[in-house]
Amino acid sequence: MKILIIEDQEKLAKLIKKGLEQEGYSADYLMDGESGQRRLELNHKDYDLLILDLMLPRKSGYEVCKNIRDLKISIPVLVLTAKDGVEDKVSLLDAGADDYIVKPFSFKELLARVRALLRRPESVLPNKLQVGNLILNRTTREAFVDNKEIRLTLKEFALLEFLMRRPNQVVDREQIITNVWDFDVDLFNNIVDVYINKLRNKIDGKKARKTIETVRGVGYRIRV
């Protein structure tokens, strides 16, 4: 799962990003409201959650939230704010925020709110994904092949989830890198191929037919 952080205090943004990645999420951060809104307008389908600071340069978090809701962008929004007045909270929720957390906050509380917002309705984002004999449980972070658990690293799990959420769809290396890693990873290295091979070994072992197919010159797909 991928999270966008819009926070103008770079030290805090990096800490949140690092903490989320240690929990198995992928995360990007931007430092002003204007570039953050532009990223969402162009790439909102790549993200599962937005962590949005209220006081931002160039465009406030309040404006960003209201504008993306006006554009029918339904990504869950968790607002970071130093304001804790009742009217401030009401204004945030009316602007389209799903939840807020008052600064200063503990990362443990932030993580709990992130998990709560990511528990979307089954019809939108199911907690269990299944392709053939392969099952992925997003809630428990477990994967099974023929009802036998396979052990995955956090990044392997994120990659497999990304592919399983797009059955029969061919995805290229750039799509994988920007969703499972981040926008700063070198597109020309072989990190995707390495992790695809790791997944194949764990899912299929020595079977000739692989669950994750290579589409030559394009990318990869999981075929249903």
Of 2-16, 115-129, 159-173, 193-207, minimum mean pLDDT range:
115-129
Residue 166 CB partners (closer than 8 Å, separation 6+): 221, 222
Q: Which residue has the higher pLDDT, 153 or 182?
A: 153
Q: What is the mean pLDDT of residues 191-205?
A: 90
d(CA 44, CA 64): 13
- pLDDT score of 123 more than 50: no
Quote the pLDDT of residue 121: 53
d(CA 4, CA 51): 6
Quote the pLDDT of residue 50: 96
d(CA 138, CA 130): 11
Sign of CA dihedral 218, 38, 64, 19: positive
State the pLDDT confidence band at 58, using cuts at 50, 70 and 90: very high
CB count within 10 Å of CB 40 equals 24
Quote the pLDDT of residue 122: 46
- pLDDT score of 127 more than 80: no
d(CA 167, CA 223): 6
- Average predicted confidence (pLDDT) for the chain: 86
